[in-house]
Structure 1
Amino acid sequence: MTDPAAPLILNLNGYTPLPLGKIAGIVTMLEMTAPPPPLPERASEGLTLERMTAPDVAWYRALFRRVGEDWLWFSRLRMSDAELAAILHSPEVEVLVLRKNGVEAGYIELDGRVPGEIELAFVGLVPDMVGSGAGRFMMNRALARAWERQPRRVHVHTCTHDKQGALIFYIKAGFRPYASAVEIVDDPRLAGVLAREAAPHVPVIEAG
């Protein structure tokens, strides 16, 4: 039996075995260097996008989980309250919350802590809003806000754990892919960070 702790070895067929308990995704990095034309929008009645000033950490984590659990978002769930608050309360970070008739429906986080750059650090909708067209409304307004800060570039990344179609959505919004990488991490479901049932499109593989 293969030792699950053994180092990864690339075989001649191009496959890289993963140790048990790990997951891997292909990450695509995208950027834009000038404001794009807005995406065509569908019905936007009842939609608003509002900045949350110094958001509460517990509130943020709850929304982060609602939006991202199906796509294996976990990084902010592993941070301490102090670490997360330091990011969210930075004057260079904006949390823009999408609401539908006053109810939270998604969010985009703009991170401008690197001079000359704005990263769309997190972009997503709650499950029942996916496919509704609300993402176009949210993206158009978030990009307009990002470019008001006159960055050198705006960038975002997505991976194969995300919703199918996310990459195409970003390209249609005006982003250009410029790099890719393989990300290998401990499966957050095995540590209880996310529900065992989260992201069924990514199988849980563990010892025994």
Structure 2
Amino acid sequence: MSNTIHLTTWSLEMTSPADLVPAAVPGEEVRVERAEVPSPEFSRFLYASVGGDIHWTDRLALTRAEWAAHLARPGVETWVAYDRGTPAGYVELDPQDDGVVEIMYFGLLPDFRGRRIGGYLLTVGTARAWDLAARWPGREETSRVWLHTCSQDGPTAMDNYLKRGFRVFRTETEDKPETPTPGPWPGA
């Protein structure tokens, strides 16, 4: 019989670009760049490496074709933080209906957590989310940026979201089967 966990999921939002409280740049050795060429392999690397120890499993079973189809959707963008040339984390933006943008995934690889990179990456990703609607025909502006986090995410995730200006608009709890932490590769 599998163990169950009590999982809390919070949905957070911003409804104006003025809500964003920027974090400081953590140093000139850190930069954030858009991954302009969609790469299923790179996206899967980021997803598995960032989420491996915090139970991200929903995309692990996707085929390369499914990854490619997702990345090819209009408006989907991936922004990557680099520390001295090494990928440190990423934010994936997913535009939705009516000028709404979801920060679908956001996080840092374990070795880069606690170094102020996350606040800066979230600042860059959120600012870009506010600018995304200008790329959609017939839309003048983004009306809302939102994301969700849960009790299995990193211990500073919620604090970072709140410090950047996000507000909780929904809290849900559920009991669910405990899943293993797959790590970035089998047995990690």
- TM-score past 0.5 threshold: yes
Paired position in structure 1 for 2:86? 103
Equivalent residues of 2:21, 2:163 under 8 A apart: no
Paired position in structure 2 for 1:121? 104
- Segment drifting more, 98-107 vs 41-50: 41-50
Change (3 A) 1:67 1:87: same
Paired position in structure 1 for 2:16? 34
Residue of 30, 34, 39 corresponding to 1:51: 34
TM-score by length of 1: 0.76
Aligned identity (percent) is 34
Change (3 A) 1:24 1:99: same
TM-score by length of 2: 0.84
Paired position in structure 1 for 2:182? 194
Equivalent residues of 1:93, 1:113 under 8 A apart: no
Paired position in structure 1 for 2:76? 93
Alignment coverage as a number of residue pairs: 177
* Residue 83 of structure 1 pairs with residue 29 of structure 2: no
Across the aligned residues of Structure 1 and Structure 2, the Cα RMSD in angstroms comes to 2.2
Equivalent residues of 1:26, 1:181 under 8 A apart: yes
Paired position in structure 2 for 1:72? 55
Paired position in structure 2 for 1:146? 129
Paired position in structure 2 for 1:181? 172
Q: Deviations over 1:130-173 (max 9, x none)?
A: 01011121111111111113211000100000111211211111
Change (3 A) 1:40 1:98: closer
The aligned amino acid for 1:180 is T
Task: Give the unaligned 5+ runs of structure 1.
Answer: 5-19, 199-208
- Tell me the distance in 1 between the aligned counterparts of 2:174 and 2:96: 23
- Segment drifting more, 77-86 vs 172-181: 77-86
The aligned amino acid for 1:114 is D
Q: Which runs of structure 2 are paired with 1:160-179 in the superposition (5 Å)?
A: 160-179=151-170
- Tell me the distance in 2 between the aligned counterparts of 1:90 and 1:186: 32
The aligned amino acid for 2:106 is V
Equivalent residues of 2:14, 2:144 under 8 A apart: yes
Which runs of 4 or more aligned residues in structure 1 lie more than 6 Å from their structure 2 counterparts after TM superposition?
none
Change (3 A) 1:37 1:60: closer
Task: Report which structure shows greater RCO (CA 8 Å, sep ≥6).
Answer: 2
Which structure shows the bigger proportion of residues in helix conformation? 2
